[in-house]
Chain A
Amino acid sequence: MRMNSIDLAYYPGCTLSSTAREIDEALHQVCNRLDINLSALPDWNCCGSSSIHAVRPQLAVSLAARNLFQAQSMGRDLMVMCAGCANRLRVASNQLRSDDTSRRVNREILGGTLDQDLRVHHLMDLLPGRLEEKPYRDTLQKPLTGLRYVPYYGCLLAAPPELKNYPTLHGSMESVMAWLGADALKWGYQAKCCGAFLSVARPDIVAPMVTDIMDKAISAGAECVITACAMCQLNLELRSPAGKRLPVFSIVELMAYGMGSADLPRWFKKHLIDPLPLFKSKQFAI
């Protein structure tokens, strides 16, 4: 039954295509089950997130433009899973359509213009709606009944003012987790920054921030933290103090599990905080 499928261009980005490949795998399994057909951009490059926009904002627009032009020639809207990539690509897409200087400069460099109203989706703005449709709601095979978690969005909930017309992702992780049968806890720390790259350059600043986030998750009574960003996940795992920390999951990893994926044990090996004891104590089959 493929009547209802969604065709999208897919931008993997530097993290999901390399260091967080397990998230990319899980994401593909999930999209596959939900009839969301992804075709990766043929020759994508860094979206201009990371340090490029931090030191050369308009160069970052050109890097994003190169990706957007590829999606445009595929005639598809674009899907990404990284908060930073989504923001960069969306800002660039706006600017390439509305800012005359940017249009001219990027036509000069790349020989094209962005003419389509190309939507840049974040995976999480698609999933909740999809799971409400009957055939997809029924893809649940292995629930996570009674798993107590806190949703952690980090800067996924923040965006430049010009992107206000994009949907907020607030609540998207909760709907997916509710589908899995898990219980969300209120904690108020869902949008605290994970420290981003300062985790490398100034770990002394980031460690206390992450420790605070973990403390709040623990005192809320959570058994784990759910993220939708590979960098959030890494920072929470890497900079939290031993003995005072909870397993951190990617939302797609748990979704794939719920849909019956057998790859969880392999993905768990990439976690810096082992989630296996939690799965055992909750008696979730793995």
Chain B
Amino acid sequence: MNDHHMTDPGRTIEMDLGADGHTDRFLKIVNHVSRQNISMCWHCWTCGGGCPFSQHMDLLPNQVIRLIQMGRGEDALRCNTIWLCVGCHTCSSQCPNSIDVAAVMDALRQLAIRDGITAPEMDIFRFHKYIYESIERHGRLNKLAAMVQFKVGSGRLFSDLQSGLKMITRGKLEILPQKVADRDELNRIFTHYDRRRRSFDAHE
């Protein structure tokens, strides 16, 4: 079991109460990107209770939200929680305040990447990166290419080799990528979000 008290966000409190408005600013960005209102969270811990990965997380999902409420955005971006979350919505479907916690985690990942914060879970980070790039290239996911890149990138080329081969021989990984025909439209989507990456509007 994880000693959650060890990771109580209150542990090293040096609260920036946001004299410069900073506290609020990060919270607003998160709310905007996720289209949620995390000020509503009253820390009932329901989300963490159902989360299938909570025992591996250094902060429970509501503790991440708490950090943001306290203006400690950077700490929220450094935890492994946001990377371990798979977006299964187990939490979101039970939240008494109708907060889509999974969407909050999505927003935090985007912000962590934007701020160049090293992910404490590099393999998961790489996984997302290769899948993202595969879709940026083709518009659809080519699992084989993304998996090979992942294996090379994570230096785990030979781990899991047997299941990988089994998947290829059983036709569970496709060799040839499928592609979207209207490349221009696809490019417009990706360019739009790339161009605005660094402004507040980036999060539209």
Contact = CB atoms under 8 A, between A and B. Distances in A.
Interface of A: 14, 17-21, 43-46, 50-59, 62-63, 66, 87, 95, 99, 101-102, 105, 108-110, 154-155, 157-162, 191-193, 195-198, 200-203, 205, 209, 234, 238, 269-272
B203 A58 contact: yes
Give the interface residue-count category, chain B.
35 or more
B190 A59 contact: yes
Nearest to A155: B88
A205 B131 contact: no
Contacts of B181: 43
Interface of B: 33-35, 52-53, 56, 84, 86-90, 92-93, 95, 98-100, 102-103, 106-107, 109-110, 113, 121, 123-124, 126-129, 131-132, 135, 139-143, 147, 150, 154, 160, 163, 166-167, 170-174, 178, 180-182, 185-186, 188-190, 192-193, 203-204
Given A57-B33, A57-B106, A197 B99 contact: no
A43 B182 contact: yes
Given A19-B171, A53-B87, A160 B106 contact: no
B174 A46 contact: no
Nearest to A88: B87
Contacts of B121: 201-202
A45 B139 contact: yes
A192 B50 CA distance: 9
A55 B110 contact: yes
Given A58-B204, A110-B188, A161-B100, A51 B86 contact: no
A161 B93 contact: yes
Contacts of B142: 18
Given A43-B181, A53-B87, A200-B147, A160 B193 contact: no
B139 A101 contact: no
